[in-house]
């Protein structure tokens, strides 16, 4: 039986063999692998790119104090971007499942329509949820727009839910029982995170402080976007740090939301504020690359 980390090794190896840069996780809080610059910014523009990385993804509202066997504050995604999508992209994807020991002649695999959209990123695409014996194991998306911009090359984004996939392969009912290594379980590694972040996000995060932080990051990102427009040398302009501040905003928004601190009327407005920044960075990125 493959351990959690074996499965990750094999998938990375598989995609490395198909020309992917194997990146390490992006070192900031993100809600999904899509938000990491390796996806959000790299899919823009005419340059082909292939990358794969494990991205710990934080969704404060999904925290369950480590009590729910299937729901996590922070889960791990294997994010694969193939830009442009090769013609045999689905075959390659199926091959990756076989590489981790799933004999697809003996399992039921279906591609069910599931279109993806992120209002905060001004991004959307069409695709499927991949169902294996009734379990959603991957989100498969052909990106069409990012930051409100039509993409030059259409990338395929494969997002594997690593905990689910491993629980399936190891036949475990709870993600906490997954064998991370032969001797160490998922609970051993991650239970404390789940408990403590749930406590913080739901009970202790100070709303006023989070709003203050949000405003600070928003202000800094907005300031930089304005400066970019005047900047004579767009190549060396710090757009990546600008984008970091946008991601901070996004995560703070999610935390405030989990804390129940965002009222009805505010919600749509706050999403629009974050999107404006994300779109601003995306447009600048395309301009700088041109």
Question: Which residues form the interface with other proteins (CB under 8 A)?
Answer: 68-71, 84-85, 87, 90, 94, 104-113, 115, 125-126, 128, 132-135, 142, 144, 150-154, 168, 171, 173, 260, 263-265, 267-268
Smallest gap, in angstroms, from Cβ of residue 120 to other proteins? Answer: 17
Angle ∠(68,69,72) on CA atoms, nearest 5: 65
Where are the alpha helices (H) located in the chain, listed in sequence order? 4-17, 37-40, 89-99, 162-170, 186-199, 207-230, 239-258, 264-289
C-beta closer to other proteins: residue 221 or 274:
274
C-beta closer to other proteins: residue 5 or 68:
68
> In this structure, what DSSP letter does residue 41 have?
T
Smallest gap, in angstroms, from Cβ of residue 201 to other proteins? Answer: 16
Nearest partner of 161 among 247, 9, 33, 251, judged by Cα: 33
Smallest gap, in angstroms, from Cβ of residue 265 to other proteins? Answer: 8
C-beta closer to other proteins: residue 106 or 236:
106
Two tokens, residue 286: 């395309």
Angle ∠(189,191,193) on CA atoms, nearest 5: 90
C-beta closer to other proteins: residue 175 or 221:
175
C-beta closer to other proteins: residue 112 or 233:
112
Smallest gap, in angstroms, from Cβ of residue 150 to other proteins? Answer: 5
Smallest gap, in angstroms, from Cβ of residue 126 to other proteins? Answer: 5
């Amino acid at each position: 039986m493959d351990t959690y980390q074996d499965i990750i090794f094999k998938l990375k190896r598989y995609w490395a063999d198909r020309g992917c840069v194997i990146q390490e996780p992006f070192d900031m809080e993100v809600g999904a692998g899509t938000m990491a610059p390796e996806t959000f910014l790299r899919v823009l523009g005419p340059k082909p790119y292939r990358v794969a990385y494990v991205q710990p993804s934080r969704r404060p509202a999904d925290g369950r104090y480590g009590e729910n066997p299937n729901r996590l504050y922070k889960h791990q995604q294997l994010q694969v971007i193939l830009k442009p999508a090769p013609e045999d992209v689905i075959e390659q994807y199926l091959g990756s499942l076989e590489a981790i020991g799933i004999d697809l002649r003996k399992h039921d695999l279906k591609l069910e329509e599931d279109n993806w959209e992120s209002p905060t990123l001004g991004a959307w695409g069409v695709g499927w949820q991949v169902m294996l014996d009734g379990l959603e194991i991957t989100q498969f998306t052909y990106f069409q727009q990012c930051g409100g911009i039509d993409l030059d090359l259409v990338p395929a984004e494969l997002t594997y839910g690593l905990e689910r996939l491993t629980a399936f392969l190891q036949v475990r009912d709870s993600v906490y029982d997954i064998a991370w290594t032969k001797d160490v379980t998922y609970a051993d590694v991650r239970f404390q995170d789940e408990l403590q972040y749930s406590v913080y996000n739901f009970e202790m995060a100070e709303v006023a402080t989070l709003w203050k932080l949000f405003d600070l990051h928003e202000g800094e990102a907005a300031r930089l976007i304005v400066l970019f427009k005047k900047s004579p040398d767009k190549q060396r302009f710090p757009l990546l740090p600008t984008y970091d501040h946008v991601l901070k905003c996004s995560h703070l928004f999610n935390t405030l939301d989990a804390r129940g601190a965002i009222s009805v009327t505010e919600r749509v407005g706050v999403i629009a504020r974050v999107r404006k920044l994300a779109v601003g960075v995306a447009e600048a990125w395309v301009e700088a690359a041109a």
